[in-house]
Copies of this chain bind each other. A is one copy, B any other.
Amino acid sequence: MEKAWKRNFIDISPYTAGEQPESEDIIKLNANESPYPPSPEVLKRIKSFDAGSLRLYPSMDALNLRKAAAQRLSQLNNVSLSERNIFIGNGSDDVLATAFRAFFNSDKPILFPSVTYSFYPVWCQLLKIPYKTTPMNEDFSINAADFYPENGGVVIANPNAPTAICQGLEFITDVLEHNSDCIVIVDEAYVDFGGCSAVSLTKSYKNLLVTQTFSKSRAMAGMRIGMAIGDSELTAILDAVKDSYNSYPLDSVAIETGIASINDDAYFKQTLERVISTRERTAKRLRELGFSLTESKTNFLFVQHESKSAKEIFEYLRSNGVYVRYWDKPIISNRLRITIGTDEQMDIMLNLLEKLLKA
């Protein structure tokens, strides 16, 4: 007999993340993590952390982290941002979920591309937000015009995942020009790897919210820090939602190490250059092996082989200790997403592929 108290349970199907194998021998190219450690300043900050201060609640608004982020993003984007333009959350998933809840309260569907970050429809389901997906072109690019129809909000990952493609700012501006009556979220999780950021547009478009993360380019996935950049009116509402759900989403160590990471810009740039250089080298060799690739502005490649199926390649690599991402889903079922690791890791993978494809 069904237990009576189960009547009121929520009905959902959660997001599925990439496998997290425990073994150290595995080459893990399935979660778009950085192959390099975070800045040495992060390590220093952890070592010098005053554990006694943990008895106190963390800063409720992570103000010093917001200030550091505002300053760095102002420089990067040649724009003047203050801490009031920054919202901080427990990873960009938390930030995006908070934004969905804060801004998408329309009966009209929100719009996002049919191939994009697969957490968007999960949040829509959880938060009961109607949504509609827009079509992909054959080359996985998307069309601004698909975001013209009346809607309850727009979400565009740029660069997009898993397609790796970055649309230019004229695309984002086009979407904004046709959506002055809703909030447009641009999810820039991967922007630091060569994408063009829409942060400067937040000054002229008060309905634009840009989200970024410390998990990829700052190699701090384990620390859970994400942020949103936008007009202070938007960040104030994000704060109100945060303070209605969980007032202290970042612990004290996360706040301090986030600041340490931001303050070490030289290391940040150096790591990005290494990842980008490995990406370009890997892309070239994959093309030589018969793969077609989108032009990646991210820390991963989105690939398809001319003859071998994605599933077969995925399973072959996996059985040889190299984990990449494969989805048994329409449109992308013959594609793989391969995170950029170190040159050595890429060579191991490329050699395995060579062996498989020449067999």
Cα-based distance from A2 to B56 in the complex (angstroms): 41
Number of interface residues of A (CB under 8 A): 85
Q: In the complex, what residues of B have CB within 8 A of residue A105's CB?
A: 8-10
Residues facing B in A209-254 (CB within 8 A) are 215, 219-224, 237, 239-254
Q: A56-B221, A224-B249 are in contact. List 4 more A-B contacts (CB 8 A).
A: A5-B181, A12-B241, A14-B247, A101-B126
* B246 in contact with A94 (CB, 8 Å): yes
Please indicate which of the listed interface residues A42, A126, A239 has the most CB atoms of chain B within 10 Å of its own CB.
A126
* A54 in contact with B249 (CB, 8 Å): no
Cα-based distance from A53 to B20 in the complex (angstroms): 13
Interface 9-residue window, one of A57-65, A133-141, A283-291, A327-335 = A57-65
User: Given A91-B246, A244-B122, A253-B253 in contact, is the A222-B58 Cβ separation under 8 Å?
Assistant: yes
Per DSSP, chain A at the interface is: loop
CB contact between A222 and one of B55, B94, B183, B243 (< 8 Å): that residue: B55
CB contact between A35 and one of B33, B55, B215, B257 (< 8 Å): that residue: B55
Q: Smallest CB–CB gap between A350 and chain B, Å?
A: 22
User: Given A14-B240, A153-B8, A222-B56 in contact, is the A90-B246 Cβ separation under 8 Å?
Assistant: yes
* B60 in contact with A17 (CB, 8 Å): yes
* A54 in contact with B153 (CB, 8 Å): no
**Which residues of chain A have a CB within 8 Å of any CB of chain B?**
3-5, 7-10, 12-17, 20, 28, 31, 33-38, 42-43, 46-47, 49, 51-60, 90-91, 93-94, 97, 101-106, 122-123, 125-126, 152-153, 180-183, 206-207, 215, 219-224, 237, 239-254, 257
* A181 in contact with B246 (CB, 8 Å): no
CB contact between A245 and one of B123, B152, B254 (< 8 Å): that residue: B123
**Nearest chain-B residue to A247 (Cβ)?**
B17
CB contact between A57 and one of B15, B35, B101, B222 (< 8 Å): that residue: B222
Cα-based distance from A35 to B33 in the complex (angstroms): 39
Cα-based distance from A76 to B140 in the complex (angstroms): 56
CB contact between A253 and one of B46, B58, B60, B237 (< 8 Å): that residue: B46
Q: In the complex, what residues of B have CB within 8 A of residue A38's CB?
A: 51-52, 54-55
**Nearest chain-B residue to A181 (Cβ)?**
B4
Cα-based distance from A28 to B251 in the complex (angstroms): 19
Cα-based distance from A254 to B183 in the complex (angstroms): 34
* B57 in contact with A5 (CB, 8 Å): no
* B20 in contact with A241 (CB, 8 Å): no
* A152 in contact with B8 (CB, 8 Å): yes
**Nearest chain-B residue to A14 (Cβ)?**
B243
**Nearest chain-B residue to A22 (Cβ)?**
B59
* A36 in contact with B55 (CB, 8 Å): yes
* A10 in contact with B237 (CB, 8 Å): yes
**Nearest chain-B residue to A224 (Cβ)?**
B251
* B54 in contact with A221 (CB, 8 Å): yes
* B253 in contact with A251 (CB, 8 Å): yes
Q: In the complex, what residues of B have CB within 8 A of residue A183's CB?
A: 5, 8
Cα-based distance from A251 to B58 in the complex (angstroms): 14
Cα-based distance from A148 to B33 in the complex (angstroms): 51
Q: In the complex, what residues of B have CB within 8 A of residue A237's CB?
A: 9-10
CB contact between A10 and one of B34, B47, B52, B101 (< 8 Å): that residue: B101
Cα-based distance from A51 to B267 in the complex (angstroms): 15
- What are 14 A-B residue pairs whose CB atoms fall within 8 Å in the complex? A8-B105, A12-B241, A14-B241, A20-B59, A43-B52, A46-B46, A46-B253, A55-B220, A93-B247, A94-B249, A123-B244, A126-B241, A222-B253, A223-B252
